[in-house]
Chains A and B, each alone.
Chain A
């Protein structure tokens, strides 16, 4: 299984963040929210946003099958709540067998 993450940071900021947090996987830079917009995940109702960015992504976790179809989705209506690692792990266990 691959892991792909999208965020508003520039490639340089992502590299710094990866070093700090020891993250693995593919990290994509979406500073103008073009990818976020294609997924329909732009949130304009934000109290804080980076300079020059109109809105922010709604933090979202998707599980895609080998055809690129969304099989599972976790999203919160409150930006202070994120996908709990245990929730994602349980979903992986439940859906991944079917996705292999």
Chain B
């Protein structure tokens, strides 16, 4: 039979896998809920179970492996979550005129900001395809 430490590690690893899978599934649907307590508890719980496994009765190579992954996974995703805040030092505001710029479009043609004049435009900044 598995030792207590192994079972704790296994439980923690399952918890971090389930929590993270649900998170990224919701993220891909742009449907992460405003209340994210369940996710935070999931990652924190995985971290605690992992640490409990590492110090628990019946440690062996399997429990160290499972507990280690669980602790690292839980702490890593919890840490990633805390880095979500973003800010720009001096962002463009309502009432500002857009700056003049040139950039390449997806056909590698040069686009000049003069083209923005004459028609209302919905102008969006994305992070990237990922």
- A interface residues with partner B (beta carbon < 8 Å): 1-9, 11, 13-18, 26-30, 34-36, 38-43, 45-47, 50, 56-73, 75-83, 88, 92, 96, 99-100
- Interface size class of chain B, counting residues whose CB lies under 8 Å from the partner chain: 35 or more
Tell me which of B83, B92, B105, B118 contacts A41 (CB under 8 A).
B92
- B interface residues with partner A (beta carbon < 8 Å): 27, 30, 32, 80, 83-99, 101, 103-108, 111, 113, 116-130
CB–CB B94/A61 < 8 A: no
CB–CB B126/A26 < 8 A: no
CB–CB A34/B83 < 8 A: no
CB–CB A58/B129 < 8 A: no
CB–CB B122/A92 < 8 A: yes
A15 to B86, CA, bound (A): 27
CB–CB B125/A40 < 8 A: no
CB–CB B128/A29 < 8 A: no
Query: Shortest beta-carbon distance, A34 to chain B, in Å?
Result: 7
CB–CB B122/A7 < 8 A: no
Tell me which of A7, A41, A66, A69 contacts B91 (CB under 8 A).
A41
